[in-house]
Structure 1
Amino acid sequence: MSLSPVPTSTAPRSDAPENNASDNTAPDGTVNHVFVAEDTTAARRLNKWWRKYRFWIIGGAVFVLLSVVAFVMSNSGNRSLDALAINNPAPAGAQAAASVLENQGVAVTATKSLLETTDALAQNAYASSTVLFYDPRKILTPTQVSELAAAVEENGAKLVAITPGPLTLKNLSPEISSAGTTAGSQLVDAQCENVDATAAGSIGGTGPDPALNTGPAKGPLLLYKGAQTCFTPNAKAGTASGGFLASNSAGDITALGFSGVVNNHNLDQAGNAALTFRLLGSKPNLLWYTSSLNDVPPAQTSPSFADLTPAWMFPASAWLMLVALVGVLWRGRRNGPLVAEPLPVIVKASETMAGRARLYQDARAVDTATRTLQHASLTRLARALRLGHSADPSVVVEAVAAATSRPSTHVHAILLGEPPHTEKDMLRIAAELAALEEEVARR
């Protein structure tokens, strides 16, 4: 504990620390010092604890608050952030189209895997269905795409593929092929005999295409050729090579090269809504299939550690070990003997004493602090009684008892007694040690 026992004197000391002792003047003029340990009250200990750990407490509270907010936002209303998701109200989502179709009596069901989609097509409840197929990350393999096309044909369903790639088209229908890309335009007329496209009249949009992160006037859009090709961007200029919409001769497989036609941002522009509802709402059931990581086929065998390790790892590790060994042999030579050097600064004894007292106080080492005070008092008493530094403690006790006319047992209890377990007892012993030293000094 941070204690500085102040011996009683005949006059009050103005330089006594206020946090260590308070002065009470007796009627005879003597001063009785009442020792008070620092940070002994609950309020002071709480204040000190708060100043020490407040950064981590505030940081933890902010982290927990942000985690709760993120969890609530991610689970509020079961909303999704995926493009063209039927429960995503953002501009890139498709909640508007799905909600309108449901209000018109179309049963819209979202599927997240190829197996879930094919199983739904095989059920009687989905005997007459339209399948919206959207694979923005090109997860499905050609074999999986062929499996989807076979399931659609077997169950007499209709497939609308949003922005499929060339390999996907090849496995969906041999009658539809990729015709490159175009910068697009604000509005594109149908210019074909497809009844759905003719009813829409024209399509277009100014917002981003979630499949390409571009807009009709900002980046390329996908073009297709098929038995029926509609919405050709540059048909009037005579440079057209394909359109945004293409279908096979049976009309059961359709490819749409601009997914922005379906999203919430562009649904109300031009004939986007008419084309979307006619393509997706012609049958009583709509399976909204967006590929996900569930479609990634599992590995046949578990990879070994060597399979997961890059090829350069082992040569690089061997080289680093060689360099480390050379460094150890080069810099790890034996040093000479230790050389004593003077300290660059001189530390005052009072600062050392205060620092050690702070350590005792933080550790609540009441017994160690008391032993330190007793040992210091024994040393000063031995010097005052001219017994020398090497005098036995029992000899010092007997000499102090003779000098102060106190019982030896009483002096022994003060100087060599068992250390206390509470700060109050330690303060009492410190006061008794100070009184004992002053009594020996006055003899």
Structure 2
Amino acid sequence: MTPPESASSTAPTVRARWRGVRWIVLLGLVVVLVAVGTVLFGPDQGEARPLDPADTSLKGSKALAELLRGQGVQVDRVDSVEEAAAKGPGRLLLITSTLYFNDHDLAEIQGDRVLVHSFGSLDALAPGVETEPDPARQRSREPECALPAATAAGSAFLGGAAFTGPSGSVGCYPAGDGWTLLSYPNAGGTTTVLGSADFMSNQRLSEDGNAALALNLLSTGKPVTWLVRPDEPPVGRLPGEAGRSVYDLMPAGIPWAVLMAGLSVVLVAFWRGRRLGPVVVEKLPVVVRAAETVEGRGQLYRARRARARAADSLRAGTIDRLTPRLGLYSGADRHQIVAALAVRTGEDQQRVGGALYGPPPIDDNGLVALAGYLDFIERKVSEL
């Protein structure tokens, strides 16, 4: 009667499973690579414009602009100093960034202004205002001031730069030794300096009193000139190409050629790559216990009557184990070791020296006695 086949012989191996699903895996990989190529070489989706009243992304501020318009405030978006100056006097100028404009040109526009500090000096736009050297972490802060726009709003998400102002200025939302919101009268109206303006963004407007603070600062009954950074050409644009990028100058087939070349490399790698076979079970060599090894070596010493070599091994092991316990370095000489052992154990110094460095025993009984005394010294040092 033939024995039944084992379960392991009928179960599918890893290699068989891979053969069954490899085309599905390769098809999925092709789909993923095509999707990645579409994202990389597809049309630009545009980028967020921070604090832009026409931007609906999380960094934009269209929600705030619509709230202002709902209260009857006229909001005009401009992206140049010339457009802002052409709007005329009697308006509130909101400067979302000073990195893209000349401060002195902006300072010539008279009237109320709300300034978001970006970088550099404020001598032209906010004379007398000093920026603290250490920026403040952006978080929810309490106003702790008497400015009506801030006290009515309560806590708000502020941070970034912190300021100290001239005499007559009012600081709110403290951070360190300064204030993240500073307001003071200027020659043509009121100047308000903000360390950051994330509380005006679509993402933060609904938190804490952010919306109330933004409306209180901008809804003053005057039209708002909202100055945003100018539109910049995307990265990779060549000079003199009037709106054409490097990708626009490529032949239409280049992106697909690159994509197909990548797919070919991946498929060839799967085809010619080294394949691991099934796991081979190999019997391990015979495991010998440590005690049996020691006994075997001892029997060899005994058979060859190598008492001197056995004694040297015992003494060397004892010295190596005791030297660090005695606080000695590994290269300590015999006199230091013997003296330290005699002091620690209370044993006679000559007996300790004879055990560690004396002549080899003349018979087996002497070797056993030496081993027992060395063990006694070790246990006594360990117990102290």
- TM-score tier (shorter): 0.3 to 0.5
Give the TM-score, by structure 2 length: 0.46
Higher relative contact order, structure no. (Cα contacts within 8 Å, ≥ 6 residues apart) = 1
Give the TM-score, by structure 1 length: 0.40
